[in-house]
Chains A and B, each alone.
Chain A
Amino acid sequence: MMINHPLLGLRDAAEFVYLGDASLINRPDRDAPDAAAAFYEYLHLRDNPAGTHRELWYHEQGDRSWLVVTRNTLTHDIESVELASDVARQQGRDV
């Protein structure tokens, strides 16, 4: 499988490490009143879609960037690849 890195172009998936659901970017606020419930969901509950899935990949044997890869779990087609830092900024995070 090849991953089209936003900065480096097509790179072999062997250079990357898979982490999991891209929702891990959205770490809950530990000071929020519902922090316990939010962290329970953040740590333990995952969707398991048959189809489009947004997931985190780390370019360990490359430029050490985190990517958000949108992949179809049925076909393994990769629909888009974004830098996780760009995704976080789009969500208003200061990274």
Chain B
Amino acid sequence: MVNNRLSPRPALGGYELTHAGIQVKERVDTEVFSLACRESEKASVNDGLQSSLGVVWPEVGSCSVSTDSSVRVLGLQRDQVFVVLNSSQVTDGLLNALTNVAWCTQQSDSWATLEISGPNQYQVLECTCPIDLSPSVFTEHHVARTSMEHLSSIIYRNNDSFVLMTPTSSARGFLHMIEESIQFVD
């Protein structure tokens, strides 16, 4: 009898690239949870998030980041946020806490996450991203769900780099778009 075992694999195979002052790296240790609630439940959900994770339900387009920066909540819609954290932080206790505060779905397998950094990162992103990413406009506390070359994406700033999330179903096409943009950077 064949003993087949399934093991998780990153959507982009742990992709890494350094070119022309730009570093692109797939984040393979990120977990994503979607939380949704009714408008009337926001206050109690907020209390639950505050006590369990030290974050709040952010406004649309904003992030809430825990004091130690280990948990980030992305305000994507008025009734939906994404909680992004490190795989090592996910415990049964945390899952129970999330499930208790709002409608919670595990979305980690649905999203590929790329981090782009380096002095020329803006040159890559200005070819692809329709959002104004100027440091004075798009700060650490902003997030945007948008489309890049017609592909769905989420972007936020993480210190000196940008994090791009895209559905795994089209992640290879998204990566190809990023690679093509990098070729235009001197």
**Residues of chain A whose beta carbon lies under 8 Å from any beta carbon of chain B:** 7-9, 11-12, 14-15, 61-65
Contact = CB atoms under 8 A, between A and B. Distances in A.
Given A12-B130, A14-B130, 13 more contacts: A7-B59, A7-B78, A9-B61, A12-B146, A14-B147, A15-B130, A61-B145, A61-B146, A61-B147, A61-B152, A62-B144, A63-B61, A63-B76
A63 B78 CA distance: 8
Contacts of A11: 130, 146
A64 B146 CA distance: 11
Given A12-B130, A14-B130, A7 B60 contact: yes
A32 B15 CA distance: 60
4 tightest A-B CB contacts, nearest first: A61-B147, A12-B130, A63-B77, A7-B60
A65 B147 contact: no
B76 A15 contact: no
A65 B145 CA distance: 12
Contact of A63 (B60, B147, B152): B60
